Structure 1
Amino acid sequence: MNIKALLELHYGYLFEPALLKEIEEVGKYKLIKQGEKLMELGQEIKGMPLLFSGAIKVLREDSEGEELLLYFIERGDTCAMSFSCCMGAGTSDIRAIAESDSELLMLPVQKMDEWMTKYKSWRAFILDSYHTRLSELMETVDTLAFMKMDERLMKYLKDRAMVTNNDLITTTHLEVAHDLHTSRVVVSRLLKSLENEGKIVLGRNNIKVLAL
């Protein structure tokens, strides 16, 4: 695996050569299969992901074990919440699961603070990531507060299709219900309604999004 080539392809326009060289030296390459957990709640954080390909969904869990989807991390992104945990208690406040097969580098936590002061490009990258994630979190709040469940469901399906660049989503009604913090019965009813409206096509453990 040519890590140098991947870094230059996806991050060469962002980071100066010296930083790219350090990332290449300390980063650990990982291939995460679809559905595999990258990070778990309460897990000690030893590294922060830098994505080359694929998509990761980031979720929170309430005291009763119910999940809520916060946002997706796409190619060229990192997870600002992971960085925040690195700088704080050192344990994860989120669950991260591969939405599709994903290539990434895990960067050691020991380098995070050092690079913030050493490289302007790294500092700008992290601050931009914070801004992007905050905007997505605000969008999640607005979705919960102002959208009806059928609108939330359609937005969720479109978002998943866009981050994977694939209008055929491999999933179950139960998984969708968990991500949207609702019941499987409600999701199944609304999916059938969306299919009747010609916006999606339901298959066995998959959903084809027609209205992108």
Structure 2
Amino acid sequence: MIKDLQKCYGHVLEDALLEDIAKVGMIKIIPEHVKMIEIGDYVKSMPLLISGVIKILREDNNGNELLLYYLEKGNTCSMTMACCIDHKKSNVRAFTETEVKLILVPVNKMDEWMGKYESWRNFVIESYHNRVLELLSTLDNIAFKQMDERLIQYLKDQSRVNHTTIIHKTHKEIAYDLHTSRVVVSRLLKKLEKLNKIELGRNHIKAIKL
């Protein structure tokens, strides 16, 4: 565990803290497309992501989901962190986008480390800052960008977080993440293919010049 921590968090967290995390943390590997946190759940531990990708979603009053942001190696979820600190129910849903490896840290260590380690305080503040920027980006996409622009950004994000130009998503899955219809997604993907920006395959998309 300590090697994983040093590799992913050694540049931001001090050695003594990494050792404390290794003492109380629990390694967990979760397959892809598994629900990790449901809206309304109490969060009993905070995840430190070692590998893989997690997507965080919000639900409206009609049960429709909206993709907020992705978590990658070296990240944690600030919303989960806030629930841990305040002992409140989760207001987001988390799914594994790929298989993930993470270290679960007990909730009761959050306050202790805030007072004990400056690097932990800075890590918490930086995590909040980064997630706020991502939420603002999501808001900008919805409020100011056309669906074709949002789709291109979605494909870019998928390629980036999965480290491949091959995006294994169906049109229905993309439509669900973007909060639109499959027909609209299919039409826009065909348009992008005609512009030689992507190649469409069976249940996958190859990014070429996004």
- Which bracket does the TM-score occupy, shorter chain normalised? over 0.9
Matching residue's letter, 1:165: H
Give 1:14's aligned residue.
12
What is the TM-score when the length of structure 1 is the normalising length?
A: 0.95
Aligned match for 1:26, one of 3, 24, 31:
24
Cα deviation digits, residues 39-65 of structure 1 (max 9, x gap) = 111112111110111111111011111
Unaligned runs of 5+ in 2: none
Cα contact 2:159–2:167 (8 A) shared by 1: yes
Match of 1:105 among 95, 103, 106: 103
Report the equivalent of 2:60. 62
Matches within 5 A, 1:188-203: 188-203=186-201
In the aligned structure 1, how far is the partner of 2:38 from the partner of 2:165? 28
Alignment-derived partner of residue 149 in structure 1: 147
8 A Cα contact 2:43 2:87, kept in partner: no
Residues 118-158 of structure 1 show CA distances to partners (whole Å, capped at 9, x for unaligned) of: 11001100100111110111111111111100010000110
Runs of 4 or more consecutive aligned structure 1 residues displaced over 4 Å after TM superposition: none
**Per-residue deviation, 1:88:** 2.5
Q: CA deviation at 1:13?
A: 2.0
Alignment of 1:35-184 (within 5 A): 35-184=33-182
Aligned partner letter, 1:7? L
Look up the equivalent residue of 1:20 and give its one-letter code.
L
Structure 1 unpaired stretches of 5+: none
Instruction: Letter of the 1:16 partner, please give it.
Output: E
Q: In 1, distance between residues paired with 2:28 and 2:167?
A: 23
**Paired letter, 1:25:** K
CA distance in 1, matches of 2:156, 2:145: 15
Give, in whole Å, the separation in 2 of the partners of 1:101 and 1:56: 9
Report matched runs for 1:200-211 at 5 Å. Answer: 200-211=198-209
Using the aligned pairs only, state the percent identity.
52
**Cα separation, 2, equivalents of 1:88 and 1:130:** 15
> Aligned letter for 1:47?
S
Whole-angstrom CA distance in 1 between matches of 2:176 and 2:156: 17
In 2, Cα distance between the equivalents of 1:11 and 1:148? Answer: 37
Q: CA RMSD in A?
A: 1.1
Please give the alpha-carbon distance, in whole angstroms, between the structure 2 residues aligned to 1:39 and 1:208: 30
Size of the aligned set, in residue pairs, is 210
CA shift, 1:86, in A, is: 1.2
Contact 2:42 2:83 in 1 (8 A): no
Alpha-carbon offset, residue 89 of structure 1: 4.4
CA distance in 2, matches of 1:205, 1:60: 25
